[in-house]
């Protein structure tokens, strides 16, 4: 059973988890964006 209570430490705990989620999201978006952008660029040049 999950207990979501955090008592008086809510600010510290939720900020830590929020930052972790934000940094992971940024790493995923930049990694996928970088790969897609350069793949599209290569395919565009290879077609010419």
Partner 1 sequence: MIPAPAFLTNPERFMAFSRWAAPMFGALALVLGAVGLWLGWSAPPDYQQSFTVRILFIHIPTAWMSEFVYACLAVASLLSLVWRQVLADAAAQAAAPLGAGFTLLTLATGALWGRPEWGTWWVWDARLTSELILFLIYLGYMALRASMDDEAKAARAAAILGLVGALILPVIHYSVYWWNTLHQGASVFRSGGSALAPVFFWPVILIVLAYTSAFGSLWLVRIRGEVWRRRAEVAALRAARG
Q: Is 29 a binder of partner 1 (CB under 8 A)?
A: no
Residue whose token pair is 């979501």: 4
* Continuous segment of H or E residues that includes residue 35: helix 10-47
Residue whose token pair is 């999950």: 2
- Number of residues forming the site for partner 1 (CB under 8 A): 33
Instruction: Say if CB 18 and CB 11 are below 8 A apart.
Output: no
Q: Is 32 a binder of partner 1 (CB under 8 A)?
A: yes
Instruction: Give the binding site for partner 1 (CB under 8 A).
Output: 1-7, 9, 12-13, 15-17, 19-20, 23-24, 26-28, 30-32, 34-35, 37-39, 41-42, 45-46, 48
């Amino acid at each position: 059973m999950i207990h979501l209570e955090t008592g008086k430490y809510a600010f510290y705990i939720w900020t830590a988890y929020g930052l972790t989620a934000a940094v992971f999201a940024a790493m995923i978006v930049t990694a996928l964006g970088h790969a897609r952008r350069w793949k599209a660029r290569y395919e565009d040049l290879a077609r010419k």
